[in-house]
Structure 1
Amino acid sequence: MADPHIKSEMDWFDYISVILYRLGFVLAAPSVALLPWQSAYPARELCFVAAAMCASSLHIYIKSFRLTLQGACWVGLVCAMLGYPMIGLGGAFITLGGLCFKEYFCFKVPGLPLQPLLLAGLWFALALGALPVAQILAALSALLFFIVSIAKWRMPLHFDIGDKSKYEI
């Protein structure tokens, strides 16, 4: 989590990781929006990709939070590969929802702290086949992903890195 007043020197890996993290939010918006709809668009798989992009590039100082959010994504991916895609999607939602909650403290986007609850509700609606409810929750969640994506891209890249000396390794 960044300190915007501190500008650490960034190497090529820092630039790539910040861009991947931000692109993960961009990809999450349409992927989540299309989850409850029958389409040729591989929405669930792209939700996994979005979560993995964010999880692989987290810039959170506190190691336990960073590892929890990354672990949820990786366990979810393993579950999906083992034939439990809904459990896997839950892991991706934990990662994406947790990161939206974190981003609320940076951007104060109204509704963003509710993103984990929206994604939990969406997961249950999808699991239970309640498609009208899932469609509403997916639209709200996608809108929040879209808003936070715009907010992230409007700020300089170094804001995501912050003070490198504060990271718990």
Structure 2
Amino acid sequence: MSRPPVNPSDPADNSPGAPAGVPEGGSAAESGGVPAAGAARPAGVLIVSIVVALEATALLAAAGWYGVQLLTAAPVLSFWGAVFTLGLLLAFSTWLFAVARFLFRGYRWPRAGALVAQIFALTIGFPTLTGGYPLAGLAMLVPAAAAIVLLFDKGVIAFASRAGGAPPAL
């Protein structure tokens, strides 16, 4: 028999039969964004958030380098294609920063975004590793593999189960 899911944004029911995951003092929003009072942030959430934030920083640095190359008139086949690529790098970097932040805060949706980003890193890391750049390939593969394993950890899944909803009106 399974229990009904607990929504951390609902007010606490302090009756003797209250579910175990509901804090006694109020909702998750009142307890600093942590899904349940007393539930510590697992180390896996911290590690995955750091890995994703570092990937976002690397993409931002690549976008900066790409932009400088574009402004210094480096030869390109299509100027607007290069501008589009720069926009994609900036957008993906912004998206990864959002994934890292909201995963750290315990939301549910960033787990999928982090998994997709790690699969992309694996897709780029393997050819890089076998193409003659072993250090760069390992720098992409090892954190991505660790993040994928940690994303499926029970503690990470339990912590990152907060559903996004409207903030309280008052």
Do they superpose with TM above 0.5? no
Comparing both structures, which one devotes a greater share of its residues to helix?
1
Superposition TM-score, scaled by structure 1 size: 0.31
Higher relative contact order (CA 8 A, sep 6+): 1
Superposition TM-score, scaled by structure 2 size: 0.31
Larger Rg: 2
